Amino acid sequence: MIQTRKIFSVIAFVGSFLLLVPEAVLGQGETTSAIVGTVSDQTGAAIPNATVTIIQIETQMKRSATTDDSGRFNFAQLKPGSYSVKAEADGFESQQNPAVSSGLGQKQTVDFTLKIAESRQTL
């Protein structure tokens, strides 16, 4: 009888420990964030090869990416915080969003619609 109680106590202890382990692992979760989006023109057409630059406000860390054929960009593995995001493309006026907040474990979407640049010819 005493032997059975010891075995039951050990099983109960191990079982309760195993129930707590997933909670500890899940508690760690995401440690980064992401900023994604698209760059298009005023007609809604994608602008491939546009340059998108992000600057983290607190550290002035700067990263750039080029949009794909569908005008999409993706900055993954970012430190959560405030960013300035700028899109530029040849023949278009650049556009900037100076206050993008990217939270822990979140994917923030920032879309840009660029206007065609005015030509400045002098005669």
Predicted local confidence at residue 12, as pLDDT: 55
Question: What superfamily in CATH does domain 33-114 come from?
Answer: Carboxypeptidase-like, regulatory domain (2.60.40.1120)
Predicted local confidence at residue 23, as pLDDT: 46
Q: Taking 90 as the threshold, does the pLDDT of residue 31 lie above it?
A: no
Predicted local confidence at residue 88, as pLDDT: 98
Which of 24-38, 53-67, 79-93 has the weakest average pLDDT? 24-38
Higher pLDDT, 61 or 122: 61
Question: Stretch 58-84: mean pLDDT, rounded?
Answer: 96
Question: Stretch 84-99: mean pLDDT, rounded?
Answer: 97
Query: Could you tell me the pLDDT band of residue 30, with boundaries at 50, 70 and 90?
Result: low
Burial per residue of 92-109, b for 16 or more beta-carbon CB atoms within 10 angstroms, e otherwise = beeeebeebebeeeeebe
Higher pLDDT, 3 or 20: 3
β-pair partners for 83? 56, 100
Element containing residue 5 per DSSP (H, E): helix 2-28
Q: Taking 50 as the threshold, does the pLDDT of residue 43 lie above it?
A: yes
**What are the structure tokens assigned to 98, written together?**
């100076």
Q: Are 97 and 110 in contact (CB under 8 A)?
A: yes
Q: Are 92 and 47 in contact (CB under 8 A)?
A: yes
